[in-house]
Amino acid sequence: MNDRIRRLAAAMDAQGMDLLLITDDLNLYYYLGSREQSMERLRVLAVDRQGGCTLYANALFAPPPCPVPTLLHKDGQEPAALAELAKRLPAGSRTGVDPAWSAGYLLALQALCPGCALCDAGALLSLPMLCKDEEEQALMRRSSRVNDTVVEQLIASIDERSTAQALSRAIHGLYDAQGADGAAGGALVAFGANCASPHPLCRDAAPQPGDCILIDAGAPLEMYQSDMTRTVFFRQVSAEMERVYQTVLAANLAGIAAVRPGRTAAQVDAAARAEIEEAGYGPFFTHRTGHGIGLHLHEAPAVGPGSDTVLEEGMIFSVEPGVYLPGQGGVRIEDLVLVTAGGAEVLNRLPKDLRVV
């Protein structure tokens, strides 16, 4: 944790930032080691450019014991706590704010120190998180192994009585049995034409022969996320959807093959996108190729056409191209990859060959 704070303070100093306010629960875990949930309460870790830290926390949600000086308050004492924090924000100072912080608290603090410049510190907070250390990489591998097992179990359970909603709910128990922390809201599951949306609503309908079945699932294990998408077909597959599947699989493999230190995230996106465009499905690939992942399900780097992030060893992100045909269905294949000295280590092991269930 000390090393992470030192790297954060160095980035603050380079950007001329006097103070940084960290409030998101996962960011607090990363920088402080605290697993507590703030709920709607006030909890702020203030970091100065020398790496000095002070935690402002509700007594109900203060980590015991806390490794940094802590100023505790009770319910109803938030104005006094914010007033105390405001003393550290003199006129003319520049303070970075965690973008996840409640507007209610932020606006109240802003009113207390109108001469202080407040700015979005999301990019700065993510800098030390971009490259995972060896312990984080090991946790991400374990989390992905669990996800492989759970998604395979879910696919194997599909029959004529299945509904997208029931499968989405059932995945909670499968994750629990593997020791994961549970999937927020369940898995994203869609059948048939409903797969034509990259993020469809789960529907209470049984699969029909020829339906594509899209399953996008993940859950944290010891705080670190997993994420994977597999698309299978129910009982049979049409020639058109088979062609779509093979196109998306080629795009997934091309994106993974493009991963190298020194290349940009946009080059990975371009490699995957070229396969889909060459097959004539370019207009139906409607989202970026991937997103970073770690403690947060979605974090830096973004893997899209405009991303100039230079890949470095230790980065972990998804490669998840897709083709979505209105009225017919859609296919997405998603893996997590770790950037290594020689290219990419694929964290998911669940096979990607076309599968009919």
Q: What is the pLDDT of residues 121-140, one digit of tens each?
A: 999 999 999 999 999 999 99
| 3-state SS assignment for residue 68 | coil
- The residue ranges of every structural domain in the chain are 2-129, 134-346
Tokens of 313: 């060893």
Mean pLDDT of 216-234: 96
Q: Which fold has domain 2-129?
A: Creatine Amidinohydrolase; Chain A, domain 1 (3.40.350)
CA distance 229 to 243: 18
Which residue matches tokens 């996962």? 26
Average pLDDT, the chain: 94
**2-129 and 134-346 agree in CATH topology:** no
The percentage of residues in the chain with a pLDDT greater than 70, rounded to a whole number, is 98
Burial of 156 (0-12, 13-18, 19+ CB in 10 A): exposed
Confidence band for 315, pLDDT divided at 50, 70 and 90: very high
Mean pLDDT of 305-324: 97
Look at residue 64 in the predicted model and tell me its pLDDT: 67
Question: Please, are residues 288 and 269 in contact by the beta-carbon 8 Å criterion?
Answer: yes
Q: Considering only CA atoms, which of 321, 154, 131, 292 is closest in space to residue 227?
A: 292
DSSP label of 56: E
Looking from the CA of 21 toward its CB, the CA atoms found within 13 Å total 28
Using CA atoms, how far residue 45 sits from 57, 154, 277, in Å, is: 8, 40, 47
- b (16+ CB within 10 A) / e for 209-226: ebbbbbbbbbbbbeebbb
Confidence band for 201, pLDDT divided at 50, 70 and 90: confident
pLDDT in tens, 18-48: 999 999 999 999 999 888 888 899 999 999 9
Which residue matches tokens 């306010």? 21
With a cut of 90, say whether residue 294 has pLDDT above it.
Answer: yes
Cα Rg of the chain (Å, integer): 23
Residues with Cβ within 8 Å of residue 47, at least 6 apart in sequence: 5, 8, 9, 12, 19, 20, 22, 31, 53
pLDDT in tens, 234-249: 999 999 999 999 999 9
Q: Considering only CA atoms, which of 133, 138, 140, 122 is closest in space to residue 317?
A: 140
Using CA atoms, how far residue 288 sits from 40, 95, 218, 323, 357, in Å, is: 32, 32, 19, 12, 29
CA distance 119 to 150: 41
Helices (H), the chain: 2-14, 25-32, 78-86, 103-112, 122-126, 134-156, 164-177, 239-257, 265-278
- b (16+ CB within 10 A) / e for 230-254: bbbbbeebeeebebbbebbbbbbbb
Confidence band for 151, pLDDT divided at 50, 70 and 90: very high
Which residue matches tokens 């192994």? 145
pTM, two decimals, is: 0.94
| 3-state SS assignment for residue 71 | strand
11-25, 178-192, 266-280, 307-321: range with lowest mean pLDDT: 178-192
The structural architecture, per CATH, of the domain 134-346 is: Alpha-Beta Complex (3.90)
The percentage of residues in the chain with a pLDDT greater than 90, rounded to a whole number, is 89
Which residue matches tokens 């993940």? 218
DSSP label of 264: B
Query: Amino acid letter at 177?
Result: A
pLDDT in tens, 68-97: 899 999 999 999 999 999 999 999 999 999
| 3-state SS assignment for residue 213 | strand
CA distance 15 to 13: 5
Tokens of 255: 């994106």
Mean pLDDT of 200-205: 79
With a cut of 70, say whether residue 344 has pLDDT above it.
Answer: yes
Look at residue 257 in the predicted model and tell me its pLDDT: 98
With a cut of 80, say whether residue 101 has pLDDT above it.
Answer: yes
Look at residue 199 in the predicted model and tell me its pLDDT: 87
pLDDT in tens, 241-273: 999 999 999 999 999 999 999 999 999 999 999
Look at residue 160 in the predicted model and tell me its pLDDT: 95
Q: Which residues, listed in sequence order, are joined to residue 329 by a DSSP beta bridge? A: 325
